[in-house]
Chains A and B, each alone.
Chain A
Amino acid sequence: ELKVEQNPLFLSMQEGKNYTIYCNYSTTSDRLYWYRQDPGKSLESLFVLLSNGAVKQEGRLMASLDTKARLSTLHITAAVHDLSATYFCAVDMGNTGNQFYFGTGTSLTVIP
Chain B
Amino acid sequence: DAGITQSPRHKVTETGTPVTLRCHQTENHRYMYWYRQDPGHGLRLIHYSYGVKDTDKGEVSDGYSVSRSKTEDFLLTLESATSSQTSVYFCAIQARLDYEQYFGPGTRLTVT
**Is B truly associated with A?**
yes
- 0 or 1 for each of A92-112: is its CB under 8 Å from B? (1 = yes): 001011111111110000000
Q: How many angstroms between the C-alpha atoms of A4 and B59 in the bound complex? A: 13
Q: How far in angstroms is the closest Cβ of chain B from A95?
A: 9
Q: How many angstroms between the C-alpha atoms of A99 and B46 in the bound complex? A: 10
Q: How far in angstroms is the closest Cβ of chain B from A34?
A: 9
Contact B104 A97 (CB under 8 A): no
Selecting from A42-50, A57-65, A74-82, the interface stretch reads A42-50
Q: How many angstroms between the C-alpha atoms of A100 and B44 in the bound complex? A: 8
Q: How many angstroms between the C-alpha atoms of A97 and B96 in the bound complex? A: 9
Instruction: Say what secondary structure dominates the interface of chain B.
Output: strand
Contact B48 A99 (CB under 8 A): yes
Within 8 Å CB of A97, what residues of B?
A: 31, 33, 48-50, 56, 94, 97
Within 8 Å CB of B103, what residues of A?
A: 35, 42-44
Closest 7 CB pairs of A and B: A102-B42, A45-B100, A102-B43, A43-B103, A97-B50, A104-B42, A42-B103
Chain B positions within 8 Å of A, measured between CB atoms, are: 31, 33, 35, 40-45, 48-50, 56, 58-59, 90, 94, 97-106
Chain A positions within 8 Å of B, measured between CB atoms, are: 4, 31, 33, 35, 41-45, 48, 50, 88, 90, 94, 96-105
Q: List 26 A-B contacts (CB under 8 A).
A: A4-B42, A33-B101, A35-B103, A42-B90, A42-B105, A44-B103, A45-B100, A45-B101, A88-B42, A88-B43, A90-B43, A96-B56, A97-B49, A97-B50, A97-B94, A98-B94, A98-B97, A98-B98, A99-B45, A99-B58, A100-B101, A101-B59, A102-B43, A103-B42, A104-B41, A105-B42
